[in-house]
């Protein structure tokens, strides 16, 4: 069974739902707002209807929060344009296409959108007393399908966003689940810290996926349109098996404790070794070099922003330190978080009962690890279980003129996010350069 066909966050509003457990992604997302706002400034504003697309929207309030922020930033640009021109600028009608795989819980997302629309308030009701539309209102559509394919009409999107999902692969390489193959990923459920040759199989599939994503968006974006993407990355460009820094393997959510939970299932006779060996997490963290090479190969975008991968904490440090004082409660939270994001993929592979048993053992492993840290404050400080390496990319669809250049090159802009004073507001300063 190809687990990647069943990738989805847990739907609904239950104990393990993404609606409840997406709080960590929400915390990381708020840190993206300055970069999102800057990306909107680079978008070419249309006179007619404006189309935004969220590729990999999942379910829950995170996607809606992003959309509300993006729509507000776009509205502010129209308001500013009207004030600068000394006349009323018509606010365009906006359509947001929410995309994810067909197994996504679009019902919960639709219900949340309906609730948001009912409670929406005007953010910018007028310019010089004239109505310019409701900044928090937009039309919405649900689009089921893989974002590694074409999904929307040609030259129809003005702003596209993909948050925390481009590290998911379209499929697992067939060679790593074939028992007769020398690349059979025996004894592991992922590539982290494993066989470098097998990891390179993942790399090849991942690069094909990224090529397809960029080519599909290139066809769908209007000239001057913006693509904003943020996804799990890695620092070690040469060794794809180092999906996280080797010194951090022990405190990664799907690291040794995740792998050992599979071994516990085997030791307890719940599953066979083949059940474990034929499962592989369909995740690959690309390096900056891989991403930049794919963008250049596509040739349809100018890079507005591409930083080096950065480590970000999904949970504030003081909250993590507090949770670690209660090992059982901490383990329950971490287990629920991992299940909300990876549970459906595991369940598609070995059923609900075995998945329940897996997370019981995973929770036990985390409880034991957290308990061992109680008497060691230094070890607690080093246990960065919610630290993830992200790569943020802002691309602008080239116009017909730039596409016709013989050697347009790749134009990179650096954004300085260093605070200017003691406040938490970053300074956004663009400094263009050519590599």
Give me the domains of the chain, ranges plus CATH numbers: 1-10+244-281+315-385 (1.10.1200.220), 11-237+282-313+388-433 (3.40.50.150)
Tokens of 107: 């019902």
Tokens of 111: 């219900």
- Label residue 367 by pLDDT band (50, 70, 90): very high
- Label residue 144 by pLDDT band (50, 70, 90): very high
Residues 231-249: what's their mean pLDDT? 91
153: which residues sit within 8 A by CB, 6+ positions away? 220
- Label residue 27 by pLDDT band (50, 70, 90): low
Which string of DSSP letters, residue by residue, matches 210-247? Answer: HHHHHHHHHHHEEEEEEEEEEEEB-S-SS-TT-SS-GG
> Does 403 have pLDDT greater than 60?
no
Identify the pLDDT of residue 43: 92
- 260 versus 164: the higher-pLDDT residue is 260
Classify 286 as helix, strand or coil: strand
Classify 188 as helix, strand or coil: coil
Q: HSE of 346 in the Cβ direction (CA atoms, 13 Å)?
A: 25
- Label residue 123 by pLDDT band (50, 70, 90): very low
Which string of DSSP letters, residue by residue, matches 99-130? Answer: EE-TTS-HHHHHHHHHHHHHH---SS-EETTE
Tokens of 223: 């000239």
Residues 335-341: what's their mean pLDDT? 87
Q: Give the closest residue to 107 by CA, choosing from 64, 63, 152, 60.
A: 60
**To the nearest whole percent, how much of the chain has pLDDT over 70?**
79
- 402 versus 58: the higher-pLDDT residue is 58
Identify the pLDDT of residue 137: 74
> Does 129 have pLDDT greater than 80?
no
Identify the pLDDT of residue 248: 83
Identify the pLDDT of residue 109: 86
According to DSSP, the β-strands at 157-163 and 221-232 are parallel
Range name among 152-166, 183-197, 237-251 with the lowest pLDDT average: 237-251
- 21 versus 145: the higher-pLDDT residue is 145
Range name among 47-61, 76-90, 319-333 with the lowest pLDDT average: 76-90
Angle between helices 61-85 and 33-41 in degrees, nearest 10: 40
Identify the pLDDT of residue 226: 98
310: which residues sit within 8 A by CB, 6+ positions away? 389, 390, 391, 392
Residues 256-281: what's their mean pLDDT? 96
> Does 307 have pLDDT greater than 90?
no
Residues 246-253: what's their mean pLDDT? 84
> Does 124 have pLDDT greater than 50?
no
What are the strands, taking DSSP E only, across 121-220? 126-127, 130-131, 139-144, 157-163
Which string of DSSP letters, residue by residue, matches 9-23? Answer: ---TTSTT-HHHHTH
Identify the pLDDT of residue 89: 59
Residues 156-173: what's their mean pLDDT? 94
Tokens of 230: 């943020």
> Does 401 have pLDDT greater than 90?
no
Q: What is the mean pLDDT of the chain?
A: 83
């Amino acid at each position: 069974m190809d687990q990647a066909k069943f990738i989805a966050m847990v739907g609904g509003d239950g104990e393990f739902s993404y609606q409840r457990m997406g709080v960590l992604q929400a915390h990381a997302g708020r840190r993206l707002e300055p970069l999102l706002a800057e990306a909107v400034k680079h978008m070419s504003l249309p006179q007619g209807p404006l189309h935004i697309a969220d590729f990999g929207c999942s379910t829950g309030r995170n996607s809606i929060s992003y959309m509300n922020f993006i729509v507000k930033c776009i509205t502010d640009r129209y308001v500013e344009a009207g004030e600068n021109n000394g006349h009323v600028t018509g606010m365009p009608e906006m359509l947001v296409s929410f995309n994810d795989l067909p197994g996504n819980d679009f019902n919960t997302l639709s219900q949340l959108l309906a609730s948001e629309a009912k409670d929406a308030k005007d953010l910018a009701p007028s310019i010089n007393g004239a109505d310019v539309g409701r900044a928090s209102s937009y039309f919405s559509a649900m689009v089921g399908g893989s974002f590694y394919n074409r999904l929307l009409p040609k030259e129809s999107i003005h702003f596209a966003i993909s948050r925390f999902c481009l590290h998911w692969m379209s499929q697992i390489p067939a060679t790593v689940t074939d028992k007769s193959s020398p690349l059979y990923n025996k004894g592991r459920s992922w590539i982290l810290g494993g066989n470098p040759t097998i990891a390179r199989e993942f790399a090849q599939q991942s690069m094909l996926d990224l090529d397809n994503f960029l080519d599909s968006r290139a066809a769908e974006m209007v000239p001057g349109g913006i693509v904003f993407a943020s996804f799990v990355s890695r620092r070690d460009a040469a060794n794809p098996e180092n999906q996280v820094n080797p010194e951090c393997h022990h405190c990664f959510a799907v690291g040794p404790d995740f792998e050992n939970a599979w071994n516990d299932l085997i030791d307890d006779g719940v599953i066979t070794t083949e059940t474990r060996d034929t499962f592989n997490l369909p995740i690959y963290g690309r390096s900056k070099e891989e991403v930049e090479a794919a963008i250049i190969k596509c040739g349809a975008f100018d890079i507005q922003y591409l930083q080096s991968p950065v480590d970000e904490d999904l949970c504030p440090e003081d909250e993590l330190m507090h949770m670690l004082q209660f090992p059982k409660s901490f383990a329950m939270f971490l287990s629920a978080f991992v299940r909300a994001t990876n549970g459906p993929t595991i369940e598609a592979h070995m059923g609900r009962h075995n998945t329940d048993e897996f997370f019981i053992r995973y929770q036990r492993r985390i409880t034991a690890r957290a308990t061992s840290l109680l008497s060691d404050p230094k070890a607690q400080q080093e246990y960065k279980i919610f630290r993830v390496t992200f790569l943020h990319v802002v691309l602008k669809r080239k116009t017909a003129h730039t596409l016709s250049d013989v050697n347009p090159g790749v134009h990179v802009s650096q954004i300085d996010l260093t605070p200017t004073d003691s406040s938490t507001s970053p300074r956004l300063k663009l400094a263009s350069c050519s590599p």
